[in-house]
Structure 1
């Protein structure tokens, strides 16, 4: 099965994506992660003003199958969160890259995307093709 992986995003081992514009990172979960989770029923996100640390959990996502930690692809301060995704978590399933984003972070160091994958690298990693 092939999923959409927008080329403008970077992807992590734990299936989050990050869209970096200047020093603002928009973070969400990939279409592959959504498929693996199944029906998403709950998402827990940090408050605006909270600090997240690269590699650490910043929230959780719950489906009918499992509860998974959301891992931060960057470090920084939360400046926006998608309250609509909290109220209607199924929107993450139907539109993970546009309506279903999770948080925006003012990043500490925009060059800290080491360890993330391009769309092509991520596709090979998760689909093996």
Structure 2
């Protein structure tokens, strides 16, 4: 199931939730040149996931749901332009577990 919030896609796969940028957000910020992840392993709703520097802006990506970080897309640190990819296996930011189901259910359908 795919939802959206904070200009991000949130895809539920079992108990894991993958967060990635929407094409609109990719267009709005331009080519990503730098990614710095939050050190936090537990992210609150509207808490910071990562700071991005892109050709059009500098931006903090905030999570539309709370949960525990299971995995970060470490490949984007060395190759930030992966976040501009159309391929969902390349452009994701984080995978969360222990997500509040009510928060996820409250998001709009993608």
Same fold (TM over 0.5): yes
Specify the structure having the higher radius of gyration (Cα). 1
Deviations 1:46-71 (A, max 9, x none): 34x71101112222121022111111
Query: Unmatched 5+ residue regions in structure 2?
Result: none
The residue aligned with 1:17 is 9
What is the 5 A alignment of 1:1-129?
A: 8-12=1-5, 14-47=6-39, 50-95=41-86, 97-119=88-110
Tell me the TM-score normalised to structure 1 length: 0.75
Runs of 4 or more above 3 Å deviation: none
Query: Unmatched 5+ residue regions in structure 1?
Result: 1-7, 120-129
Q: Give the whole-Å Cα distance in 2 for the aligned partners of 1:60 and 1:28.
A: 14
Looking at secondary structure, tell me which structure has more strand per residue.
2
